């Protein structure tokens, strides 16, 4: 009986550790990693926006479109991120106002400006 008890305990332990659920497949893991990376990039974009862009975009200075205001963005969003980011990076003079290159902050990288643009688009689409 003494020999059976350890085997019985080990067997119960192994059975308890088995899961009825199948492990997630590689595609599910990849999707969740991609979603997490996208969320992290939007968080970085928000930080850049708050520190560099919000002063004008939250106050409609020089015609800056307000994030979240669908009427300000209805004609812009269809242009796509690459076009909007290029205008923000290089500067743009439009019918309503002026966007200085990189919002007047030349130390921003093109990637940082692009992340801020993606952030503005994301909160407008919500």
Read off the pLDDT of residues 33-52 as tens digits, 9 standing for 90 and up.
888 898 999 999 999 999 99
Does any domain span residue 19? no
Report the domain count for the chain: 1
pLDDT at 60: 82
Tell me whether residue 79 is in a domain: yes
Segment 51-76, tens digit of pLDDT: 999 999 999 888 899 999 999 999 99
Compute φ and ψ for 2, nearest 5 degrees: -65, -30
- pLDDT number for residue 126: 75
Q: How far is CA 6 from CA 15, 16, 83, in A?
A: 14, 15, 68
Q: Which domain holds residue 85?
A: 28-125
Residues 6+ apart with CB under 8 A from 65: 57, 72, 73, 76, 120
């Amino acid at each position: 009986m003494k020999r059976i008890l350890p085997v019985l305990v080990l067997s119960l332990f192994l059975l308890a550790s088995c899961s009825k659920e199948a492990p997630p497949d590689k595609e599910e893991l990849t999707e969740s990693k991609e979603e997490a990376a996208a969320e992290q990039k939007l968080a970085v974009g928000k930080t850049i926006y708050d520190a560099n862009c919000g002063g004008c975009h939250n106050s409609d200075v020089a015609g800056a479109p307000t994030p979240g205001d669908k009427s300000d963005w209805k004609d812009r969003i269809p242009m796509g991120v690459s076009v909007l980011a290029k205008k923000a990076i290089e500067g743009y003079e439009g019918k309503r106002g002026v966007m200085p290159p990189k919002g007047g902050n030349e130390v921003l990288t093109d990637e940082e400006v692009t992340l801020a643009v993606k952030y503005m688009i994301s909160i407008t689409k919500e």
